[in-house]
Amino acid sequence: MITIKDVFKDYKQLNNIYDSMETEAITLLVISEISKLSKASVKAFPERELSAEQSEELKTILTRLQTGEPIQYILGETEFYGLPFKVNPSVLIPRSETEELVEWILETCGGHFAENSNQFDGAILDIGTGSGCIAISLKKNLPNADISAVDISETALQTARVNTALNKVEINFMNSDILDWQAQITKFKMYNLIVSNPPYVTLHDKQQMHINVTDHEPHSALFVPEDDPLLFYHTIADFALAQLPANGLLFFEINENYGSQTVEMLRKKGFVDIILKQDMSGRDRMIKAAAM
């Protein structure tokens, strides 16, 4: 029989992939999930013995983690903005920076559009929805909003639909390539707010990224050509100009290395009240702009 303390010791093998704090966090998450104990209980009782079945499962997970496979894919779920989401290799793993984008949108809906964000009943479109994390989190907090979401990947949309059922919300999902939006314009309508976290990772950026991202998460949702890093931003901005009314809002999550370029691109296209916002790490990460 092994103890919780033994598992923490064994999982230190992950220190050759992750830093020690991340290794400890992953280990705590895995033990809690497999043992069905709270994280507080796991930390409080390190001498607690685990069953043979639990021990084998923990070893299997460790083997997969050593390949760089993300723990979220191994467990098949994660949390985003306080909500549960199923995830798999067809969708990106939701990240804390995107939670900050959701928070910014909710704060804006409470001020720009209505006295109380719960009263917001406008139309919102999430472009490149993936797991549906942005659209679903917005719907949970803006119950009167009419929210649609689009993605080029039908397998991603299947996951997003599972997540709408899991979180008991309704989203209108559409399978479409936003880069070809003019040929599919009948699928869309006018929106009060458009949000997108599109592909923005260049090949240069890829060299700095962890293998648990580059080897496991969907490349179509991550990478853009080195010679056209703002490909999706240009296209979505043009789409927004056609589908937003005056004062309608566009929100982007962006590549931190292209903040000023993205702002200038939006300015040249005629957007106003453009705000470039940093995330909690101090990196240029989000943009808000209004249509004329």
User: For the chain, how many residues are written?
Assistant: 292
What was the pLDDT predicted at 104? Answer: 97
Do 153 and 89 meet the contact criterion of CB atoms below 8 Å apart?
Answer: no
Q: Token digits for 280? A: 């909690």
Do 73 and 24 meet the contact criterion of CB atoms below 8 Å apart?
Answer: no
What was the pLDDT predicted at 224? Answer: 73
Chunked mean pLDDT (size 10), the chain, 292 residues: 96 94 96 97 97 97 95 96 96 94 93 64 96 97 96 96 98 96 95 93 62 58 74 96 96 95 98 97 97 94
What was the pLDDT predicted at 128? Answer: 96
Q: Token digits for 96? A: 């804390």
Please name every residue paired with 51 in a beta bridge, in sequence order, or none if there are none. Answer: none
Q: Report which residue type is found at 200.
A: Y
Q: For residue 97, give the 3-state DSSP assignment.
A: helix
Do 109 and 142 meet the contact criterion of CB atoms below 8 Å apart?
Answer: yes
Strands (DSSP E) found in 65-171: 77-80, 83-86, 123-127, 146-151
Q: Token digits for 128? A: 């490149």
What was the pLDDT predicted at 280? Answer: 95
Do 68 and 144 meet the contact criterion of CB atoms below 8 Å apart?
Answer: no
What was the pLDDT predicted at 101? Answer: 98
Q: Token digits for 12? A: 């230190």
Element (H, E) at 287: strand 284-290
Please name every residue paired with 249 in a beta bridge, in sequence order, or none if there are none. Answer: 193, 290
What was the pLDDT predicted at 176? Answer: 95
Please name every residue paired with 146 in a beta bridge, in sequence order, or none if there are none. Answer: 123
